[in-house]
Structure 1
């Protein structure tokens, strides 16, 4: 039994609307601005958590140790150069 052309047109229109809604959802999910905002919010949440605060503290401690080591090396190098030139 052949289908009515109006019925076929209605099915095509419904499929078109469904595809448009799906494309809109995909565009929203893949929006670079939205993804950036989500990433920033996740980083802020982590940094405000106890684990994030501990990580920041550890990084600060490590940085301080590296800077102190560099200063010590620089002072030792200057002392050695001064002694050799005398």
Structure 2
């Protein structure tokens, strides 16, 4: 059964609106400032996890010990 012109035009307009909405959302998601903020928040959350935090403290202490040892040798 052939579709009438008005039905086709409504479908085209609906598709156009969906595409515009998708493009708006993509422009918000790919905003460089927003990407930096999201990455920073993710990194801070990961670093604040106890296993990661203690591993970083241990690595820092080891580096400090090696530097002190190198200086006084």
TM class by shorter chain equals: 0.7 to 0.9
1:16-57 deviation digits (Å, cap 9, x = unpaired) = 001111112222222222221111112211222211321221
Q: Which residues of structure 1 form unaligned runs of 5+?
A: 74-86
TM-score (norm 2): 0.75
1:64 corresponding residue in structure 2: 64
TM-score (norm 1): 0.66
**Number of residues of Structure 1 aligned to a counterpart in Structure 2:** 73
1:6 corresponding residue in structure 2: 6
2:55 corresponding residue in structure 1: 55
* Partners of 1:50 and 1:31 in 2: CA distance: 31
Q: Which residues of structure 2 form unaligned runs of 5+?
A: none
RMSD: 1.9
